[in-house]
Amino acid sequence: MSKVIIIGAGPAGLSAAITIAENGLNVLVIDEYMKPGGRLLGQLYEETNGNWWNGIKESQNLFDKAVAAGVEIKLKTPVSNIEKMDDIWNVYTEDEVYTTSHLLLATGAAEAPLPIPGWTLPGVMSVGAAQVMTNVHRVKPGERGVIVGVNVLSSAIAMELKLAGIDIAAITLPKMNIVTEKSGNPLDVMNSLLHVSHMAPSAFVKMGSKLMKNDFMKRMGITFFPKNGVKMWDIPIMLRKAVVEIYGESQVEGVTIATISPAGEVIPGTEEKIAADFVCIAGGLYPLAELAAVAGCPFYHIEELGGYVPLHNERMESPLEGLYVAGNITGIEGAKVAISQGVTAGLAIVNSIDGGKQEAKLNDSIKAIEETRNDAYIQFHPEVKTGKQKLLNFWNEHQKAVVS
């Protein structure tokens, strides 16, 4: 019997691989990166209970467990295409074509860039790149950086950079244009930050966010938001300033920032320069669904899940026979949710191969995803559950259309 193939050695892919291998089936995991763990590798933060979540350690644990269970893992192997021929999935890599009856896509997420004048200068990088350089490769992206884009990911990474002894001059907004409309609007950004206020280290900010439940208070809050920002881990978070330009002769030398109105308009004459040798752009994450797209899977755009998501059901099955999805490809959430989804996808695959012996376990694992989601420390989108429900409705409509 052919091996099950999983694309992506992140938390979802590895946990699925473990689940499948522990049920006695052969599994091959393919990943383009040189280390297993995916985006989990970069993560480092303190949980509410005081424990530290160390992505490198968690990745190593999953990897060791997978290897012990007999999973074969091929790193540094990008997949350039997948296609189905005669009921078999063909997985194309540079040197080999692999075939399988059951293929799981656990390709994770990618970062959306925010175009800002000067963003093509050397020294400008995505915030995730700075995180990987620092936490995975132990290389400082620079001595002093500015982070453009205020969101959960960028504030968490700012703290990680700080822990590595890198000076962060400010976290601030991009100047508003059509592309940065949401990330550049102070009120929108504040709204999206309020639901993660429990992560703020200062009791004052936590208290403040409770007072900000209604629109009037929010508008007052952003109108009187201190122009020089509030400090978190000693880093000024500036919601009333925006980067209008990244400057430098042959590489980043700094950014020009200006005060903006509560609606995001630049107030002329308020420009000032901040010296920096690197700039991180934080436009947020979106599901990386290229392979599901070339396979011909139907897609739906769901804002709450971070963008276009391949259609799938609660068992992580796509409408294409033998094609499964798990992790951030199904919507932007934390690593723990991805791990739970990996278990479900793994069980769904085992269930399909052994003729339905896993039904009970499978149903339990679906409930477990829900519980993990409820307990999640970081919610990337406050309405992620609404998003999941929307997708399920699309799935039901699609099934009806197929039957009739």
Partner 1 sequence: MVICRCEEVTYEELVKTAERYSCSPRELKLRTRAGMGYCGGRTCRNAVDSIALSSTERNVSEITLKYQPPIRPISFSKLGEVVNND
What's the closest the beta carbon of residue 200 comes to partner 1, in angstroms? 28
Told to check if 45 binds partner 1 by CB under 8 A, we report: no
308 binds partner 1 (CB under 8 A): yes
Taking CB under 8 A as the rule, does residue 95 contact partner 1? yes
22 by Cβ neighbours in 10 Å (0-12 / 13-18 / 19+) ranks as middle
User: Does residue 33 bind partner 1 (CB under 8 A)?
Assistant: no
Helices (H), 30-83: 55-68
Give whichever of 145 and 287 is closer to partner 1, judged by the CB atom.
Answer: 287
Whichever of 78 and 226 has its CB closer to partner 1, that residue is 78
Q: Determine, following the binding rule CB under 8 A, whether residue 117 of this chain makes contact with partner 1.
A: yes
Handedness of CA 153, 158, 159, 160 (dihedral sign): positive
* 319 makes contact with partner 1 (CB under 8 A): no
By the rule CB under 8 A, 56 interacts with partner 1: no
DSSP state of 128: H
Residue 283 touching partner 1 (CB under 8 A) = yes
Q: Does 233 interact with partner 1 (rule: CB under 8 A)? A: no
Residue 181 engages partner 1 in binding (rule: CB under 8 A): yes
Question: Does 116 sit near partner 1 (CB under 8 A)?
Answer: yes
Binding flag, residue 293, partner 1 (CB under 8 A): yes
Burial 212-227 (b: 16+ CB within 10 A, else e): beeeeebeebbeebee
Size of the site for partner 1 (CB under 8 A): 34
Distance of CA 235 to the CA centre of its chain: 23
Residue where the block lists tokens 């990911």: 153
Does position 399 interact with partner 1 (CB under 8 A)? The reply is no
Cα–Cα distance measured from residue 288 to residue 131, given in angstroms and rounded to the nearest whole number: 19
- In 132-227, where does DSSP find H-type helix? 152-163, 186-194, 203-211, 215-223
> Strand 278-281 to strand 124-126: parallel, antiparallel, or no bridges (unpaired)?
parallel
Residue ranges that bind partner 1, judged by CB under 8 A: 32, 78-81, 83, 92, 94-95, 110, 112-113, 115-117, 119-120, 177-179, 181, 283, 286, 290-291, 293-294, 298-302, 308, 394
